[in-house]
Amino acid sequence: MKRFRLPLLTLLAAFAATPALRAENPPPTVITSTKLEMWSSPDGTETQAIFTGNVTVTGNEIKLTCDRLDILAERIGDKTATIGTLDKFRALIATGKVNIVQGDREANCGRAEVYPRQDKIVLTEKPVVIDHSNGSIATGDTIEMYRGQRRVTGSNVNITLPAMKNLGFDKNQPAPKPEPAPAAVPTPIPAAK
């Protein structure tokens, strides 16, 4: 079985979640798959690619695996080249057993839509997002993550967070005595005129 490899240097920007994880000189992003189909628009300004079968994307502290990856990107340079230089990604759509791992975070779903220009990732088809560093888990019908805003939205979301501090009384300690009420200060009665 022949596997295709295609380095795409700017794919990293679509997945980097926080500025702290981005390296000054990030390594190239590499996509491998069993099959590849790639074509350019008639005017040579856009490139579309479909990677299928055992798709793996590795880059700057990130790994994505899925069954299929569709990419839409702008091209720069020679408009007549068979495989042009890709510049700005408009959309990346990963489908089929999607798994994204970055640092202590992991996402699993049936479909992940990455919109780099909007700094947005939309996870659907039973998404599960896990932060292994603190044990939090989020599931829902849809989970949207916005890079740079540190914002997450979703529908029908269920989130399991780390244990909250017990704000009640310690069962092994006697109940605290209530504070005495402050003494009432008499209000002077105005003198009659």
Contact assessment for residue 67 and residue 97, using Cβ atoms and an 8 Å cutoff: yes
Q: Which of 65-69, 74-78, 143-147 has the highest mean pLDDT?
A: 65-69
- 101 inside domain: yes
CA separation for the pair 127, 155 (Å, rounded): 11
Question: What is the domain-level CATH number for residue 131?
Answer: 2.60.450.10
Span of 28-42, 50-64, 112-126, 163-177 with lowest mean pLDDT: 163-177
Domain that holds residue 65: 4-160
Question: Is the residue at 177 inside a domain?
Answer: no
Total domains, the chain: 1
Q: Report pLDDT for 23.
A: 52
Phi first, then psi, for residue 116 (nearest 5°) are -60, -35
Token pair 């489908």: residue: 95
Query: What pLDDT was estimated at residue 117?
Result: 83
Does residue 184 form part of some domain? Answer: no
Is residue 69 within 8 A of residue 56, CB to CB? The reply is: no
Amino acid at 7: P
How confident is the model over 108-154, as pLDDT tens digits? 999 999 888 888 999 999 999 999 998 999 999 999 988 878 788 99
| Residue 69 belongs to a domain | yes
Asked if residue 80 is part of any domain, the answer here is: yes
The answer to whether position 178 is within a domain reads: no
pLDDT over 80 at 44, yes or no: no
Q: Greater confidence, 83 or 7?
A: 83
Is 186 a member of any domain? no
Please name which of 8, 22, 87, 85 lies closest in space to residue 51, comparing C-alpha atoms. Answer: 8
Q: What is the pLDDT of residue 76?
A: 66
pLDDT at 191: 72
What pLDDT score does 83 carry? 57
Percent of the residues in the chain that have a pLDDT greater than 90, as a whole number: 40
Name the more confident of 6 and 43: 43
40 occurs within a structural domain: yes
